[in-house]
Chain A
Amino acid sequence: MLVLFAVFGTLPAWIGAIGLYPYLGVEVMVWIIFGLGFNLLLGYAGLPSFGHGAYFGVGAYAFGLAQFHLYPNLWICLAAATLAGGIAGALVALFISHRRGIYYALLTIAFGQIFWFVAVKWHSVTRGEDGLLNIKRLSVELGFASFSLASLQALYWFAFAVFVVTVIFLWRLVNSPFGRVLAAIKQNETRARFVGYNVWLYKWLAFTLSALIAGLAGGLFALAQQSAYPNVMSLQQSGFVVMMTLVGGGLVSFWGPVLGAVLFFVARDLLGAYTEAWLLWYGLLFMALVLFKPEGLAGMFSQIGRRNVRRTAPA
């Protein structure tokens, strides 16, 4: 965790030197938050959601709508984004928490598509395919002081602060008794029920929490992009977070989505500079990993680590 914070804490100082730009750092952090929240569901509770972009999108729209119609305060807008994602997730979870496996996955896709469709068609609220434009980067009001987020620098540090708090929160969550029970339900739902756990409620909570975090990430995204549009709710975008999590190794490590998100955006920018078809190469990489190394990058690293330990250990 310290390594992660150190990397992102010093990123503005060195990212220019390797040919990239600080805004990329903001984007990566937003997607890491999204990915870690998503992995609470996929990696810890073992519940595949293929429509998670919906809650990210709901958060982005809620951020913009709160700013236009409610009150233009950054905290209120971010809270609205988080809550809206959470409420949308809580409602959907009511209908799917008795399912698991493929049925669960299909239902999440169906619900995700509903949100996407609403975003495209409900023109008077969402502005249809154009989305909400001109979302302002509101200042950070702290009561005694106020910081403008107009500069990229300031935006970066604000995103970093939210990022640190969220990562610590999620780390604590997965290591709490709640997180351990979730992992137990993933391993054996039947047994969890027979030792006295309310499996349905745990699954409902996992989905809701995960959607809450997605909403927060969506709110940050709207803040950074200064807009919210239906594309982020599409099936394709929902697929990205699944890919990042799996490529990074979310099934075996808390940090999987971090590696996955970093790799995704670096691939986009570095490969994207050479070829329009960078996503094809990323997709092939994804397929290769799923075929040969389903534990992902994190799994590979831990395996290499173990091998080294064995080699250095006295026989």
Chain B
Amino acid sequence: MFAAQHLHKRFGHQVVLEDVSMTFEQGRLSGIMGPNGAGKTTCFNLLTGRYRPDRGRVLFEGRDITGLPPRAIARLGISRSFQVMNLFDDYSALDNVLIATPEMREKGYSFFGRFDGTTDVLQRVGLAGKEHVRAKDLSYGDRRALEIGVALAARPRLLFLDEPTAGLGTDATARIARLIAELKRAITIVLIEHDMKFLFGLADHIYVMHWGQVIAQGSPAELRANPWVQRSNLGNVVD
């Protein structure tokens, strides 16, 4: 469904991604893991149009989308959430998801239209009853859920989630895990995570990144058996 082929990216003299290739199959949950600075988020930024790769191609459903701007990629049905929260802080939770719906996107230039609509996204991410709370007044855990909600509101076919549990405690992490397990049944998901337990419990296929390269990949079971993963710190967490 989605493929990255031989991506290279450097910032100045710093090579951040080197020959990264990944494929994400329809209906599956793929994970990307690796230590801080491994290039996971840069990889996302290349795949969703924030940066342009220096070399390599990005394909979505057979179409070359390399270097398209984020808005064009979003309109193809690819959505993403952010590791550092990126909400419309002064808008209510409801307005945050409404503004992200394809309907609003279509009538964005309208002078006579109304800013409204209905959506079940807030119920799905567990924010029912908090529709009218401003995003900045929500608790940290709720903001994390809303971050996913905004990405979901676009009704994507492919959803990129960048460390959705960053900064969350055990209970809140469990809540996000349940949510993702639920979403997984309907949408193709790619998930960045460095909480290994979390990722191994959810993912069908995992890419391990280190120093800007993919150093291992496979199902959770295969990765548990991988000597490199076992040797590294990553392996310790898996047991």
Are chains A and B native binding partners rather than an unrelated pairing?
A: yes
Chain A: residues with CB nearer than 8 A to chain B? 172-173, 175-178, 180-181, 183-184, 187-188, 190-199, 202, 205
Interface residues of B toward A: which range?
Answer: 20 to 34
Bound together, the chains give a CA A190 to CA B100 distance in angstroms of 13
Stretch at the interface among B82-90, B120-128, B199-207, B229-237: B82-90
| Contact among A172, A173, A191, A197 for B105, CB-based, below 8 A | A197
Interface of A, secondary structure class, is: helix
Given contacts A187-B89, A195-B150, whether A181 and B99 have CB atoms under 8 Å apart is yes
Enumerate chain B residues within 8 angstroms of A199, measured Cβ to Cβ. 71
Taking the complex as formed, is B75 at the interface, i.e. its CB lies under 8 A from any CB of chain A? Answer: yes
Contact of B108 among A172, A177, A191, A193 (CB under 8 A): A177
Do the beta carbons of B111 and A178 come within 8 Å of each other? yes
Report Cα–Cα, A188/B112, bound state, in Å.
24
Q: Which of B75, B86, B110 contacts A178 (CB 8 A)?
A: B110
- Determine whether B11 belongs to the interface, using a CB cutoff of 8 Å to chain A: no
With A184-B91, A191-B150, A196-B154 as contacts: A176 and B112 at CB distance below 8 Å: yes
- The reply on B227 being an interface residue by CB < 8 A is no
A-B contact pairs, 24 of them (CB 8 A): A172-B111, A176-B112, A177-B108, A177-B110, A178-B109, A180-B95, A180-B99, A180-B115, A181-B99, A183-B91, A184-B88, A187-B88, A191-B88, A193-B70, A194-B70, A194-B79, A194-B80, A194-B86, A195-B154, A196-B74, A197-B71, A198-B71, A199-B71, A202-B108
| Interface residue from B79, B86, B107, B108 paired with A190 (Cβ < 8 Å) | B86
**Residues of chain B with a CB closer than 8 A to A205's CB:** 109
Residues of B within 8 A of A (CB): 48, 50, 69-71, 74-75, 79-80, 82, 86-91, 95, 99-100, 102, 104-105, 107-115, 150, 153-154
Query: Which of A176, A178, A187, A195 is in CB contact (< 8 Å) with B100?
Result: A195
> By the criterion CB–CB under 8 Å, are A177 and B89 in contact?
no
Complex interface: chain A residues within 8 A of B150 (CB):
191, 195
Q: What separation, in Å, do the CA atoms of A50 and B95 have in the docked complex?
A: 31
Contact present for A178 and B108 (CB under 8 Å): yes
CA–CA, A184 and B87, complex, Å:
9
Given contacts A193-B74, A194-B48, A196-B71, 15 further A-B contacts (CB under 8 A): A177-B104, A178-B108, A178-B111, A183-B90, A184-B88, A184-B99, A188-B89, A191-B86, A191-B88, A193-B69, A194-B74, A195-B150, A195-B153, A196-B102, A196-B154
Residues of B within 8 A of A183 (CB): 90-91
- Provide the main secondary structure of the chain B interface: loop
Contacts A187-B89, A190-B86 given; does A177 touch B70 at CB 8 Å = no
Given contacts A195-B74, A196-B74, contact A176 B110 (CB under 8 A): yes
Please give me the residue from chain B that is nearest to A185 by CB atom: B88
Closest 10 CB pairs of A and B: A196-B74, A195-B100, A180-B115, A191-B86, A187-B88, A181-B108, A193-B70, A177-B113, A177-B110, A196-B105
B138 to chain A, nearest CB (A): 14
Q: A181-B99, A195-B150, A196-B71 are in contact. Are A176 and B88 (CB under 8 A)?
A: no
- Assuming A180-B99, A191-B150, is B88 touching A197 (CB within 8 A)? no
How far is B228's CA from A77's CA once the two chains are assembled, in angstroms? 77
Query: How many angstroms between the C-alpha atoms of A47 and B211 in the bound complex?
Result: 39
What is the CA–CA distance of A188 and B143 in the complex, to the nearest angstrom? 15
Closest approach, in angstroms, between the C-beta of B48 and any C-beta of chain A?
Answer: 7
Contacts of A188 in B (CB 8 A): 86-89
Min Cβ gap A189→B in Å is: 10
Contact B99 A193 (CB under 8 A): no
- A183, chain B: closest CB distance, angstroms: 8
- Smallest CB separation, A204 vs chain B (Å): 12
Which A residue's beta carbon lies closest to that of B71?
A196
- Assess whether A173 is in contact with B111, with CB atoms less than 8 Å apart: yes
Which A residues are CB-close (under 8 A) to B80?
A: 194
Task: Give A86 Cβ to nearest chain B Cβ, in Å.
Answer: 16
Complex CA gap A176/B113 in Å reads: 6
Q: Which residue of A is nearest B81, CB measured? A: A194
**B residues within 8 A CB of A197?**
71, 105, 108
B80, B102, B115 — which one has the most chain A CB atoms within 10 A of its CB? B115
Least CB distance from B153 to A in Å reads 8
Give Cα A148 to B197, complex, Å: 81
Chain B residues contacting A192 (CB-CB under 8 Å) are 99
Hey, which chain B residues are within 8 Å of A195, CB to CB?
Answer: 74, 79, 99-100, 105, 150, 153-154
Give CA–CA (A183, B104) in the complex, Å. Answer: 14
